Amino acid sequence: MMLRSINPSNYKVVGSVKVSTPKEISDKVRQARLYQKYWSEMGAAMRVHMVRKAMAEFEKRKDEVIKLESMEMGKPITAAASDFNDAMAFANWYLDNAEKCLAAETTFEDEKEIHRVYREPLGVAAVIIPWNYPFLMFVWTVIPNLLAGNCVVLKHSEECPLIGKLIEEVMHKYVHVSAFSEVYGGGEVGMLLVRNDIGLISFTGSTATGKKLYETAGRKFIRAVMEMGGSAPGIVFEDANIDEAVKSICTYRLTNAGQYCDGLKRLMVHQDRFEEVVSKLSNAFATLWVGPADLESTELGPLVAKRQLDLLAAQVADAKRLEARVITGGKSLESELGGAFFQPTLLTGVTPAMRVWREEVFGPVLPVVRFRTEDEAISIANDTVYGLGGYVYTADMNRAERVARALKTGMVSINGTNYTTPFNPFGGWKNSGMGREHGKYGFHELTQTKVVARNK
């Protein structure tokens, strides 16, 4: 059976890849298990050396990665270039810091005894990732696992199998085929993969899928790092610098056509600045250039696929039916532009009953509500099953800290400061996941902790 890759800018087929059979999947896991001891005993320095060479080749083939990302998932070409640079910055940080993060720590020492804590690999990681940042997601998950000493069997998203093939081709020049391999297909292939004898599930994707995989991990009693969906609140207080806040909100809502986990998906504005914020956002949304991903002038590309467009259109239709006000946008551009395009959309008059408020909205649509007091803003912000990111805009740093601490989320940005760095832990509370990526926190998540206490 073949998996077809479709360009969402024009719905043309750009290539196809063979779906992995159950035997191929279990063979890859078995090979990885056989190689696991060698990979783990080789030591972090050698693993860093090999992976660094692979990353150098990706750097040389950057244009291929960028073009494929743009073709397979509709990321505007300029955004794909900037995502590639981000991914390399993360990879370089992991490579430069893995040995330090994984080094043994002395917890106690006197003239008689020494106690040390070692970090040891968990075993074969089944890594399952989404399509929204095809190369960055590979870097965020596979590279730290490999450096931590876990062999990896990767299942990339069915929306970007050609990037998966390119990743496999490059990796296999520098990393043994048993240390890193890939399987291809949709959810059913992911399910088959985790049924095998693995040591860890490293998952990034929707909350619905994450919950199923967590059940599997629970039955097997293995570690699961779960990076799932989000519906991050943004709160604009009356003392905020509105022009700066509006710029930042546009970035955090519209980047990647709104298709990223910790995007700002629900906006709360103090009643005294509500009309001003809505009017400035409306101008910014209405003047964005929507077009095919391969044009340099495109500011907002299509969604990843028709099914994602249909879902977004249904969420917006539900809001309209329940009498939300469409300030700008509100429509699919599929018939005009011939791909999975949706207008940047601003909605007011939104209530908690509406799907755009309750569900994760993976597209360029922003619902805005007003609030009167700080407590009210916090309570609206926390009224969600998600808890990934949060965004606060205020000139008062005491209030900023207080509100940030009150938000039930894994990360909070104040006045647009970017928290997504290789040294900060990234991950969610509540239905947004468990476990953390990046920094020493991320490496620790992928390893066992062992204490060795001895006399001298």
Using CB under 6 A as the criterion, what x/- string covers residues 95-134 for binding ligand NAD? ---------------------------------xxxxx--
Q: Are strands 391-393 and 232-236 parallel, antiparallel or unpaired?
A: parallel
Identity of the residue, 47 or 155, whose beta carbon is nearer to ligand NAD in the bound complex: 155
**Residues binding ligand NAD: what is the number (CB under 6 A)?**
28
160 in catalytic set: no
Structure tokens, 254 = 């519209």
Query: Rounded to whole angstroms, how far apart are CA atoms 351 and 449?
Result: 47
- Residue of the chain from 142, 261, 412, 446 that contacts ligand NAD (CB under 6 A): 261
Structure letter (DSSP) for residue 103: S
Using CB under 6 A as the criterion, what x/- string covers residues 386-405 for binding ligand NAD? --x-----------------
Structure tokens, 365 = 């649509």
Structure tokens, 419 = 């928290």
Identity of the residue, 83 or 227, whose beta carbon is nearer to ligand NAD in the bound complex: 227
- Residue of the chain from 154, 163, 213, 378 that contacts ligand NAD (CB under 6 A): 213
Identity of the residue, 80 or 377, whose beta carbon is nearer to ligand NAD in the bound complex: 80
HSE value, Cβ hemisphere, 13 Å, CA-based, for 197: 7
Using CB under 6 A as the criterion, what x/- string covers residues 156-175 for binding ligand NAD? -xx-----------------
- Residue of the chain from 31, 209, 248, 384 that contacts ligand NAD (CB under 6 A): 209
Closest to 269 (Cα-Cα) out of 371, 367, 395, 348? 371
CA distances from 136 to 150, 167, 189, 326 (A): 19, 11, 22, 34
Identity of the residue, 11 or 214, whose beta carbon is nearer to ligand NAD in the bound complex: 214
Query: Rounded to whole angstroms, how far apart are CA atoms 37 and 31?
Result: 11
The full DSSP string for 282-295 is HHHHHT--B--TT-
Minimum gap (Å) between residue 432 Cβ and ligand NAD: 6
227 in catalytic set: yes
Find the part of the chain contacting ligand NAD (CB under 6 A) among 29-37, 155-163, 245-253, 339-347.
Answer: 155-163
Identity of the residue, 126 or 151, whose beta carbon is nearer to ligand NAD in the bound complex: 126
Closest to 380 (Cα-Cα) out of 277, 235, 264? 235
The full DSSP string for 209-251 is HHHHHHHHHHHHT-EEEEE----EEEEE-TTS-HHHHHHHHHH
Phi, psi angles (nearest 5°) of residue 248: -65, -40
CA distances from 294 to 67, 285, 442 (A): 8, 21, 34
Minimum gap (Å) between residue 260 Cβ and ligand NAD: 6
- Residue of the chain from 227, 334, 359, 445 that contacts ligand NAD (CB under 6 A): 227
Q: Out of 72, 158, 182, 227, pick the active-site residue.
A: 227
Closest to 225 (Cα-Cα) out of 257, 198, 202, 255? 202
Query: Rounded to whole angstroms, how far apart are CA atoms 41 and 48?
Result: 13
Minimum gap (Å) between residue 119 Cβ and ligand NAD: 22
3 - beta bridge partners?
17
Identity of the residue, 230 or 364, whose beta carbon is nearer to ligand NAD in the bound complex: 230
Identity of the residue, 157 or 343, whose beta carbon is nearer to ligand NAD in the bound complex: 157
Closest to 290 (Cα-Cα) out of 230, 338, 234? 338
**Residue matched to tokens 């073709």:** 71
Q: Out of 72, 160, 261, 445, pick the active-site residue.
A: 261
Residue 233 binds ligand NAD, judged by CB under 6 A: no
Identity of the residue, 278 or 366, whose beta carbon is nearer to ligand NAD in the bound complex: 366
Q: Which of residues 310-369 bind ligand NAD (CB under 6 A)?
A: 360, 362
Handedness of CA 278, 284, 285, 286 (dihedral sign): positive
Cα 255 off chain centre by: 13
Residue 182 binds ligand NAD, judged by CB under 6 A: no
Find the part of the chain contacting ligand NAD (CB under 6 A) among 33-41, 85-93, 221-229, 367-375.
Answer: 221-229
Q: Which residue is nearest to ligand NAD (CB)?
A: 190
Chain contacts with ligand NAD (rule: CB under 6 A): 128-132, 155, 157-158, 186-187, 190-191, 204-206, 209, 212-213, 227-230, 261, 360, 362, 388, 428, 433
Active site residues: 227, 261
